[in-house]
Amino acid sequence: MLRSRSAPTPRKSAPAAADRPLTLDEFAAALDRIGGLEPRPLIAVAVSGGSDSMALTILADRWARRRGGIACGLTVDHGLRPESGVEAATVGHWLAARGIPHAVLSWEGEKPPAGVQEAARAARYRLLGAWCAARGCLHLLTAHQREDQAETYLIRRRAGSGGDGLAGIAAVRELPRLRLVRPLLGVPRARLAALLAAEGQHWLHDPSNRNPAFERARLRMRCDAAALARALAEVARHAAQRIARERTLADLLARAVSLHPGGFALVEPGPIVGAGELGERALDRIVATIGGARYPLRRERLARLRAALAEAPARARTLGGCRFVPWRGLLLVVREPARAAPPVQLQPGGTVTWDGRFAASLPAAGGAALLLGTLGADGVVALGRAAVADRNALPRLVFPTLPAFRDAQGLVAVPHLGYSRQPGVQPQLAFLPPAPLCGAGFTVV
């Protein structure tokens, strides 16, 4: 059970630099280095009630108010322990006393019998993301701090992670329609606790942080300051190398890949094939974007694909739910039709995500519900000689893979071919793959 913990009495002597409270100006400087926040921001803060997230919420509230904006604390109640509801309500009372808006997001429904921690994490970000999307909130702050960074490095090193993993936690992560921001990665935990002490603010104490059953807890008990400092130095080294690699990769993708909002890509194969390991990273990005994969492919599969494209460029290939098809000296990369998700129903006034890559909405006055799925070979036939504005603008190979809307009478709209049977009722469609071709890139503060 989490227990409420009083803020320690502030020391009378001047604190050491590592123990003095984090100031609002320092916090603002960290956000300035990250950049990209609105002048009058609406930001969400994930707050569990622990010392780190309570300190973050207090600072974020003051930072947002200074700019005429709002910070709202969000507590996810996973419902995995009997006392979780009381804890979430306690956090709400503390924040209300400071005039900070707060919402509790509950994970409803059955919990999986295995893999509960991973499922809870996925549910947490799903709930947080849905709250932000419903309110047009573009930034979610979390309270990962310096010791979390060092511990993550040590855990990944033990697990044999590669260079990208050893770069640690990124200060920015892009989610669909949302940026996850971690402004405290360079801040020691002691400085956050010192802030709460100066504020007289209580927090919740989680005994699992000292439970040796958990790897992170074991690290905290045996790692001294010197070991953490060495870990952080290694994180900085790997982070610099990762940033350099990503910049080179972004340049290669910009030169060799043309991405279409219909969910396919045209690739100039020469630069990719000739780039060695970097070309394999580029192929991984392409597959993730077009195929909707959430995890990187194994390096040996990417190496085989690059070698095959070099040895037999006239042959089509498949990998990760994508087809690589030679077309006019280029590679056309499309979604494998058999791997696409089944159609989903879109109600008037509603929104859906289809195939993990497309977000669609229908006006409330849109009439009947529609089905969103691939156009398919039957849809291509059904189009027949219909007036299609972009029929000649796109390769015919991509037609079956394009998203299309249907009703009981058949095709209603194929947006990327400029076809609509009912021009007055236009569903909205956006290509939002979970892994963009070039995202924010690895960021440090």
The domains of the chain are located at: 3-238, 261-338, 340-431
- Percent pLDDT > 70 in the chain is 91
Asked if residues 445 and 235 have their Cβ atoms less than 8 Å apart, the reply is no
Q: What is the mean pLDDT of the chain?
A: 89
Most confident of 14-23, 188-197, 407-416: 188-197
Most confident of 78-82, 154-158, 277-281: 277-281
Query: Within 13 Å, how many C-alpha atoms sit on residue 129's CB side?
Result: 15
Cα of first residue to Cα of last residue in the chain, in angstroms, is: 34
pLDDT band at 12 (very low <50, low <70, confident <90, very high): very low
pLDDT band at 1 (very low <50, low <70, confident <90, very high): very low
Render pLDDT for 269-297 as a digit per residue (tens, 0 to 9). Answer: 999 999 999 999 999 999 999 998 777 78
Read off the pLDDT of each residue in 19-31 and give the average, rounded to a whole number.
Answer: 96
Question: What is the structure's pLDDT at 189?
Answer: 94
Q: Give the Cα separation of 72 and 42 in Å (integer).
A: 8
Looking at per-residue confidence, does 411 or 367 come out higher? 411
Instruction: Write down the CATH superfamily of domain 3-238.
Output: HUPs (3.40.50.620)
Provide the 10 A C-beta neighbour count for residue 371: 16
The H-or-E segment that residue 121 falls in is: helix 116-135
pLDDT band at 355 (very low <50, low <70, confident <90, very high): very high
Question: What is the structure's pLDDT at 17?
Answer: 67
The pTM of the full predicted model, rounded to 2 decimals, is: 0.82
Asked if residues 155 and 219 have their Cβ atoms less than 8 Å apart, the reply is yes
Question: What is the structure's pLDDT at 100?
Answer: 98
pLDDT at 42 over 70: yes
